[in-house]
Amino acid sequence: MGAFRNLLGYTSNLLFGTVLVWLLIAVGLLLTIRTRGVQLRHLGTVLRAMIGSRGGAEGGISSFQAFAVGLACRVGTGNIVGVALALILGGPGAVFWMWLVALVGMATAFSEASLGQAFKVPRGDGTYRGGPAHYIAHGLRLPVLGGVFAVVFMLANGLAMPMVQANAMTAALTRSTPLGAWAGAALVALLVAPVLLGGLRAIARVTEWLTPVMALGYLLLVLLIILSHPLQAVQAVGDILAGAFNLRAGLAGTAGGLSAAVLNGVRRGLFSNEAGLGGAACAAGSATVAHPAQQGFVQAFGVLVDTMLVCTATALSILIAGRSDPAVFTPGATGAQDVDAAAGTLTQDAIAHMLGSWTSWPMTLLILVLAYSTILGAFSYAEVCLDYLTRAPWAAWLLRLGAVACAFVGGGAALTTVWSLADVLLGLGAVINLAALVALSGWVRALLRDWEVQQEEIRAGERSRPRFMGQGNPHLPTDLPHGAWGRGA
């Protein structure tokens, strides 16, 4: 067992420490080039993407609900602890590189969401399913590889992820209440069971309001800090820019130097916004929209929300508190003795220092909700993958019951091995997804071109709204091999 645990740890570190970092950057740059900088040329469209996204589901999952499900996984405890870790190791400059990698990730998010939409399949009940398994099977005509992705991603998101996130929820409960570990685990299972057992539609209905409220509440806390300490806020932004290029002494993290700022910022940005990992594409493919590119722009907006707003809010709260009192955070000194322990409480300590001890309960609640929403979002990805493998009702119920059981077990047990297993499965799925995105980049460009031509026709008064054709479309490489779109869906 010890050898297996060591192998998992080594593989996880290899995937997330080296292989995926370079793959995600390379694929993001390639897709940026192939789409001629879609995230820059259509930035206005990305910023307006949420307008009208709440309607039009016609019994299925709306564009906004799909966005909220994806955001539920993007905005997680990593936005609290992960950003703190990046600041400790890389210094304030890591935040700048986080921003830069988010810009590249927007092209990846646009691409996988658009493909998830284009190759989605109808279920016959007004809903759709799409995502990497479907565009691998139908776009690349590799159904077996699509099945491999589906199995890997289903196990990671449907069973392992509820365990690790429930463990985080239970830890937060036992720190703030007299509950024991297994009592906390039972409470967590009771909280997630009604939504998980309700399936994708129930998850979409909950995340539609839970995720935006959660993110908005956190942003308001940080906005209060910024407005009450404007000078320190300006200085914090200056530290970010100076640290990004090693322009000022004393801004290096404990890992030291410019390379540490770049590496830690890139890593945190890549794994926070999840662009390219394949999960958000599962949510995107379930939405009902008029054109695949529309959901691509919506998911690109999700990258902006995650990195430019939530991650930046965490960084600013820490840096402003450090400017106010170096004992809270000092680049190169904080976390020098125990990085993990410092990162685990740094954000909460910074906000409590700036706003008062009354914030301890709201922050505990925030961490609980972040972990809770991640369980919901991740499980929705698992359901999409299961749907690719089989539509047998008993299989769906077995997965739902298994997820609830895993949430209970994970809440009360030590999970070092499960954490590593989840990372390895997610990493392997991401490698498969990134290879598919490269192979299907011509489809991404074609979908974007079709949308751009239709926008020109709308401006010229030749049509009133977008209307995508899956067959007989001169912009597509070939006809889409299924009936989700037809000749003008």
Contacts for 266 with CB less than 8 Å, ≥ 6 apart? 21, 25, 97, 98, 100, 101
> Could you give the C-alpha distances from 29 to 134, 173, 196, in angstroms and in order?
24, 42, 37
- C-alpha span between 411 and 344 (Å, rounded): 18
* Contact in structure between 55 and 230 (CB atoms under 8 Å): no
Mean pLDDT of the chain: 83
Q: What's the number of CA atoms in the CB half-sphere (13 Å) around residue 372?
A: 25
Of these ranges, 181-195, 363-377, 382-396, the one predicted with the greatest mean pLDDT is 382-396
Structure tokens that stand for 148 in this block: 């491999």
Per-residue pLDDT band for 101 (boundaries 50, 70, 90) equals: confident
Phi, psi of 62 (to 5 degrees): -75, 165
User: Which of 65-74, 215-224, 276-285 is predicted with the least confidence, judged by mean pLDDT?
Assistant: 65-74
Better pLDDT: 11 or 256:
11
Structure tokens that stand for 370 in this block: 């972040």
User: Which of 169-173, 422-426, 473-477 is predicted with the least confidence, judged by mean pLDDT?
Assistant: 169-173
Q: So what's the pLDDT on residue 37?
A: 92
Checking if the pLDDT of 489 tops 50, the result is no
- Rounded percentage of the chain residues whose pLDDT exceeds 70: 91
Q: So what's the pLDDT on residue 52?
A: 59
- For 337, the 3-state DSSP assignment is coil
Per-residue pLDDT band for 482 (boundaries 50, 70, 90) equals: low
Sign of the Cα pseudo-torsion (36, 37, 41, 43, in order) = positive
Better pLDDT: 84 or 432:
432
- C-alpha span between 135 and 281 (Å, rounded): 10
Q: So what's the pLDDT on residue 271?
A: 67
Instruction: Summarize pLDDT for 250-264 with one digit per residue, the tens.
Output: 777 676 666 767 777
Of these ranges, 141-155, 302-316, 407-421, the one predicted with the greatest mean pLDDT is 141-155
- C-alpha span between 178 and 244 (Å, rounded): 44
* Through-space distance between the first and last CA atoms of the chain, rounded to whole angstroms: 53
- Answer left, alpha or beta for residue 81, where phi above 0 means left and psi between -120 and 50 means alpha: alpha
Beta-bridge mates of residue 129: 121
- C-alpha span between 426 and 199 (Å, rounded): 21
Structure tokens that stand for 39 in this block: 């995230």
Per-residue pLDDT band for 210 (boundaries 50, 70, 90) equals: confident
In eight-state DSSP terms, residue 359 is: G
Q: So what's the pLDDT on residue 144?
A: 95
Q: So what's the pLDDT on residue 1?
A: 60
Checking if the pLDDT of 307 tops 70, the result is yes
Per-residue pLDDT band for 68 (boundaries 50, 70, 90) equals: confident
Q: So what's the pLDDT on residue 416?
A: 63
- C-alpha span between 12 and 62 (Å, rounded): 35
Beta-bridge mates of residue 61: 287
User: Which of 61-75, 136-150, 183-197, 446-460 is predicted with the least confidence, judged by mean pLDDT?
Assistant: 61-75
Better pLDDT: 64 or 135:
135
Better pLDDT: 132 or 177:
132
Buried b (16+ CB within 10 A) or exposed e, 85-109: bbbbbbbbbbbbbbbbbbbbbbbbb
In eight-state DSSP terms, residue 246 is: T
For 121, the enclosing helix (H) or strand (E) is strand 121-122
Domains of the chain: 7-441 (1.20.1740)
How large is the average pLDDT for residues 362-372? 81
Instruction: Summarize pLDDT for 444-465 with one digit per residue, the tens.
Output: 999 999 999 999 988 888 888 8
* Contact in structure between 332 and 353 (CB atoms under 8 Å): no
Sign of the Cα pseudo-torsion (86, 88, 90, 93, in order) = positive
Per-residue pLDDT band for 389 (boundaries 50, 70, 90) equals: very high
> Could you give the C-alpha distances from 156 to 92, 117, 131, in angstroms and in order?
33, 23, 16
